[in-house]
Structure 1
Amino acid sequence: MKELTRLMLALGILLGIAGVFILYLSWPLLTGTTVILKTQPVDPFDIFRGQYMTINYEISNVELPEEIKEGDNVYVLLKEGDDKIWHAERVSPNKPDNGVFIKGTARQSWRGLTVEYGIEQYFFERNAELPLRDLDVKAKIGSSGQARIVGLLQYGKPINITYRDVTLTS
């Protein structure tokens, strides 16, 4: 009986840890502010990682304050434009007290310092065909600045993903 209690306690702790981890990753989806971000997609396929799209955002190429160095966290305050696209209004190394902001990390690229937000890759199923031009990303941003992709839009509407028929040959 004691061994069963220990086993149940250990299992409960493991499930609790897994639950907290899942809740942490899902929190922006549950409570976040929905924003639409302008994209510049790149590289639709990688032989080692499968079918995905690397996404570059308009807000990735913002002018950073001089004190920001590679690897530093930055907070980009966003503002919704007349076109319903959210644009960078201000960049700061400090978390803003209010407003909608997204947290990112300064990274070195051929253009100088850019900002990565953790939403630069969108994976989709094998044999999926989807448009790669004129895409916007619908994302949710939590109160901590964490972002999660909710969907892809083209001309303001959800994209239509089609699947090629696959023929198996022997």
Structure 2
Amino acid sequence: MKKAFAITTFTLLLIAQWLVPGNMIYLQERAIIAGTPYKFRTQPIDPSDPFRGKYITLNYELRSFETKDTVNRNKDIYVYLEKDSLGFAKVSAISEKPLDLDNDFVMAKATGYYSGKQNFRLPFDRFYMEESKAYDAELAVRRTQFDSLPNNCYALVYVEGATAVLTDVLIDDISIKEFVEKE
């Protein structure tokens, strides 16, 4: 009896170890295939953290929404999106609870309320790259943001359901990977 219980428990744990990461991969791939692509304009990049690996840290212009409702810091909020005439993401509404809207949304963290605006942090603020290209990519993004007007650097994010997947960072509509190889 104990042996059957141990085998059953082991089998269930083995299945769970495959299902959990498999479901995470499925949701990410589904968002890329069936999701709506949004472009998020970036702002100058903070210095990178060498302990987290090679990546580009992204700050977004889209980080606040004018509202009278305040949300406490570090609370999860729903940020409902729509596209402007150029295809860039803009916020249509924010809420602590799900709203009955047809718009796509991302889950963000409230970072404070100031001057009638609720500030938030988007969850896709790191773009991982090949180790040898990450530093050059960060310099290219920083240079582009300071040297060119308008800002032609943006992140391409696919949103489907509650899943948001950052697939690329583009400079002048060229993938950051290709841009770094050209330079």
> Shorter-chain TM-score: which interval?
0.7 to 0.9
Match of 1:63 in 2: 66
Gaps of at least 5 residues in structure 2 are 145-151
Alignment-derived partner of residue 152 in structure 1: 169
Take 1:8 and 1:158, find their aligned partners in 2: how far apart are those partners?
44
Tell me which residue corresponds to 1:33. Answer: 36
Amino acid at match of 1:84: G
Is the partner of 1:14 in helix, strand or coil? helix
Q: How does 1:80-95 map to 2 (within 5 A)?
A: 80-95=83-98
Cα shift readout 1:68-107 (whole Å, capped 9, x = no counterpart): 1112222222221112211112222232321122221102
Partner amino acid, structure 2, of 1:19: G
Name the CA distance, whole Å, in 2 between partners of 1:91 and 1:8.
Answer: 43
Find the residue that maps to 1:18 and give its secondary structure. helix
Q: C-alpha distance in 2, partners of 1:73/1:8?
A: 35
Distance 1:17 1:91 in 2: 30
Q: How far does residue 120 in structure 1 lie from its aligned partner after superposition? A: 0.9
Let me know the Cα RMSD of the aligned residues: 3.1
Alignment of 1:110-125 (within 5 A): 114-125=119-130
Alignment partner of 1:11: what SS? helix
Q: Secondary structure at the match of 1:84?
A: coil
Distance in 1, matches of 2:131 and 2:38, equals 28
Q: CA deviation at 1:147?
A: 1.3
Describe how 1:1-170 pairs up with structure 2 within 5 A: 11-97=14-100, 98-108=102-112, 114-128=119-133, 129-130=136-137, 131-132=140-141, 133=144, 134-144=152-162, 146-159=163-176, 160-162=178-180
Instruction: Give the TM-score, by structure 1 length.
Output: 0.75
SS of corresponding position for 2:65: coil
Worse-matched range after superposition: 88-97 or 21-30: 21-30
**Paired-residue identity, %:** 20
Matched residue pairs, number?
Answer: 162
Distance in 2 separating the partners of 1:103 and 1:77: 9
Contact 1:52 1:122 in 2 (8 A): yes
